[in-house]
Amino acid sequence: MSEQITWQDFEKVELRAGTIVEINDFPKARKPAYKLLIDFGPEIGIKRSSAQITKLYTKEELLGKQVICVTNFPPRQIADFMSEVLTTGFILENGEVVLSEPQQKVPNGSRLA
């Protein structure tokens, strides 16, 4: 287990639900990835994310899927793409990523508590 954090530390991380509204291939990424556009509702808007999820998910099944993202990290340049949010998931032993997502539909921008 890693270092323990306080409740105040946890509250600083904004984990929010958003709906994937567009998916594009990302051939310039070092590892196979998609470019995602994710709608977080009117307060946050649509943000971009790069996600290495091409082995477990097709573009068709991702469209309209709600995911949980960290929305308050600074943007990160990945090849020629600026990733604005971190799409979260669980890393399997083989390195593949299983997306974290709400069990039921929630309003876009909802914060994980």
CATH topology of domain 13-99: OB fold (Dihydrolipoamide Acetyltransferase, E2P) (2.40.50)
The pTM score is: 0.94
| Nearest partner of 17 among 61, 59, 67, 83, judged by Cα | 67
Q: Where are the domains positioned within the chain?
A: 13-99
Which residues, including other chains, have CB under 8 Å from residue 25's CB and lie 6 or more apart?
A: 34, 35, 59
How do residues 71-113 score in pLDDT, each as one tens digit?
Answer: 999 999 999 999 999 999 999 999 999 999 999 999 999 999 8
How do residues 19-70 score in pLDDT, each as one tens digit?
Answer: 999 999 999 999 999 999 999 999 999 999 999 999 999 999 999 999 999 9
